[in-house]
């Protein structure tokens, strides 16, 4: 029932991960009709382990008989039509198993007309005195942090403490859905992943779409044996049960292999969402199997949502302040051109302002063409290449500027210097093309970290291709080859200050023209 084509490394975005037909073994799944008796129409094969009743005994029987009519009525009164995991309904159930009462923490929701119950054994940590303390310290830490990176760090540390996991990362997506670890809390001795980059394909599109609805997932034991749901097809739709909002859903075998090859034993992942967009995830690894109670899962989910919101506001503020700072810096550069009477002074002051000029645009190199001189700062292509490039960029400007984060792909001659200049940002300083500034950024590959041991991480297998973080880094390399980190909005906005030079120049040119005309 899955698809016609086998799923492999090249088409993982086609895998229908919401209908695996299987769950993880740490709970039992029951699907029943939404009637007073609640005829059970599907269940997971492991029902005997937890409920003391085989699938044969359960299928066709009444859910109300199993959980009690009172609990059944309670369920039927609730709104079980969840759009996202935040709407899931929780209830405590007591069921007699082999003559003894057993308590279950149960999640209920409706899936395509059927009532889905997922039962997990109640843990003894249900009452949490610590929860409020955790929430309070978390609020305080976030409020005290100076920027989004320290806020992310505080979040990673807090989630690590609550979960008792070995490693907690804040993973952020870029515009192309490549990811980067921006904060990390980990046990000492573990190799750091902070700053590492991963390709978009590591978390394929359908998974990201699913995580917009299902905000927290856990794999209790990466080496688990999936448990089948029987019968395969749900009676109302004639298709496999839709497990999009299930908490026990069995995860993609490809992803399991990936985690396996990373040496991970258990994971928790929490979606970070703002404005209906998945912008990142809190990704947690434990190096042995680890069960996390519903109480802790819900607490982490709540902290994740709070953190996401807080971080977004902070980002707005950071960007606003960064823009103000950049505008001030840009106007200082502009004044060098406008405020100095002799070209000699301008050149001298530019050389003295090298750091300011490069920092303004977070560049590793810059070239200034002024008064027929080409001045070079930091790491740049050779002067001849710069003149050729300036001609090309000058021809492409709109509003006196042009920018690219993939220069050699747009302008092939730049291949020879793409290490130094895959990003280029041009601003004209006069209406013609004689006076300009170009800033350069290096190819991303030249600067990013990959601390993993390549030899260890490449998994050779009879099939040839195996999933591993190292393989995925290679894929990421291909994706980002010949590109630089893109120019930020606040950097581009700061260019307006420099445009003032052009305007000023234009005015004086006009003045001169007028004077000459007299």
Binding residues vs ligand BLA (CB under 6 A): 9, 12, 15, 17, 169, 179, 181, 193, 198, 201-204, 207, 217, 251-252, 254-255, 258, 267, 269, 281, 283, 467, 472
Give the integer Cα–Cα distance in Å for 285 and 270: 12
Nearest-10 Cα torsion for 446, 451, 454, 456: 180
Minimum distance of ligand BLA from residue 167's CB (angstroms): 8
Query: Which structure tokens are listed for 55?
Result: 């699938």
Residue with the closest Cβ to ligand BLA? 12
Burial of 517 (0-12, 13-18, 19+ CB in 10 A): exposed
Nearest distance, CB of residue 285 and ligand BLA, angstroms: 6
Least Cβ distance, residue 1 to ligand BLA (angstroms): 16
Closer residue to ligand BLA, CB minimum distance, 24 or 430: 24
Q: Between residues 204 and 381, which has the closer beta carbon with respect to ligand BLA?
A: 204
Query: Does residue 245 contact residue 210 with C-beta atoms inside 8 Å?
Result: no
CB of 233 to ligand BLA, least distance (A): 20
**Nearest one of 152, 146, 132, 150 to 307, comparing CA atoms:** 152
The distance of closest approach from Cβ of residue 109 to ligand BLA in the complex, given in angstroms and rounded to an integer, is: 17
Smallest separation, CB 7 to ligand BLA (Å): 7
Nearest distance from C-beta of residue 15 to ligand BLA, angstroms = 5
CB-nearer residue toward ligand BLA: 258 or 307: 258
Question: Which of 58, 243 has the CB closer to ligand BLA?
Answer: 243
> What is the rounded CA–CA span in Å between residue 495 and residue 512?
26
Q: How far apart are CA 423 and CA 447, in angstroms?
A: 13
d(CA 8, CA 31): 31
* Sequence-ordered alpha helix ranges (H) in 340-426: 343-352, 354-360, 383-396, 407-410
Q: Which is nearer to ligand BLA, 142 or 467 (CB)?
A: 467
Query: Is 484 in a helix, a strand, or coil?
Result: coil
What pairs with residue 301 in β-bridges? Answer: none
Q: Dig out the tokens for 150 from the structure.
A: 């320290």
Would you say 435 or 472 has its CB closer to ligand BLA? 472
* Comparison of 213 and 356: residue with beta carbon closer to ligand BLA: 213
């Amino acid at each position: 029932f899955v698809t016609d084509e086998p799923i492999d490394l090249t088409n993982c975005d086609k895998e229908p991960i919401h209908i695996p037909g299987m769950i993880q073994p740490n709970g039992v799944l029951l699907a029943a009709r939404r009637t007073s008796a609640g005829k059970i129409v599907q269940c997971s094969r492991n029902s005997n382990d937890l409920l003391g009743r085989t699938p044969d005994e359960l299928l066709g029987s009444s859910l109300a008989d199993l959980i009690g009519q009172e609990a059944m009525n309670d369920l039927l009164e609730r709104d079980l039509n969840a759009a996202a995991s935040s709407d899931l309904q929780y209830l405590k159930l007591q069921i007699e198993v082999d003559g003894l009462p057993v308590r279950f923490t149960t999640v209920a929701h409706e899936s395509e007309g059927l009532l889905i119950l997922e039962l997990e054994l109640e843990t003894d940590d249900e009452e949490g005195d610590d929860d409020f303390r955790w929430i309070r310290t978390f609020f305080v830490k976030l409020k005290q942090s100076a920027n989004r990176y320290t806020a992310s760090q505080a979040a990673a540390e807090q989630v690590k403490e609550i979960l008792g996991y070995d490693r907690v990362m804040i993973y952020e997506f870029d515009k192309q859905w490549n990811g980067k670890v921006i904060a990390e809390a980990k046990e000492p001795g573990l190799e750091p992943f902070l700053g590492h980059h991963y390709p978009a394909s590591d978390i394929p599109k359908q998974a990201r779409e699913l995580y917009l609805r299902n905000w927290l997932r856990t794999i209790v034991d990466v080496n688990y044996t999936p448990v089948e749901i029987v019968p395969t097809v749900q009676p109302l739709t004639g298709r496999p049960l839709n497990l999009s909002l299930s908490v026990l859903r069995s995860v993609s075998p490809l992803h399991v292999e990936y985690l396996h090859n990373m040496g991970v034993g258990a994971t928790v992942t929490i979606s970070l969402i703002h404005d209906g967009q998945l912008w990142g995830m809190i990704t947690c690894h434990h190096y042995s199997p680890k069960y996390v109670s519903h109480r802790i899962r819900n607490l982490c989910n709540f902290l994740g949502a709070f953190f996401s919101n807080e971080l977004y506001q902070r980002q707005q503020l950071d960007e606003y302040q960064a823009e103000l700072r950049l505008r001030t810096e840009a106007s200082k550069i502009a004044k060098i051109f406008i405020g100095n009477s002799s070209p000699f002074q301008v050149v001298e002051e530019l050389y003295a302002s090298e750091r300011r000029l490069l920092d303004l645009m977070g560049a590793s190199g810059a070239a200034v063409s002024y008064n027929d001189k080409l001045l070079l700062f930091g790491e740049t292509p050779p002067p001849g290449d710069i003149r050729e490039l300036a001609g090309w960029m000058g021809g492409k400007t709109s509003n006196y500027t042009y920018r690219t984060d993939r220069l050699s792909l747009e302008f092939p001659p730049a291949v020879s210097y793409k290490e130094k200049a895959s990003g280029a940002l041009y601003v004209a300083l006069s209406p013609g093309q004689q006076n300009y500034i170009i800033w350069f950024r290096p190819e991303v590959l030249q600067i990013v970290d990959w601390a993993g041991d390549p030899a260890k991480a490449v998994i050779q297998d009879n099939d040839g291709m195996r999933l591993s973080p190292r393989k995925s880094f290679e894929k990421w390399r291909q994706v980002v080859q010949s590109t630089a980190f893109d120019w930020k909005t606040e950097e581009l906005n700061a260019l307006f200050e420099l445009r003032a030079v052009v305007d000023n120049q234009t005015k004086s040119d006009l003045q001169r023209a007028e004077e000459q005309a007299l």
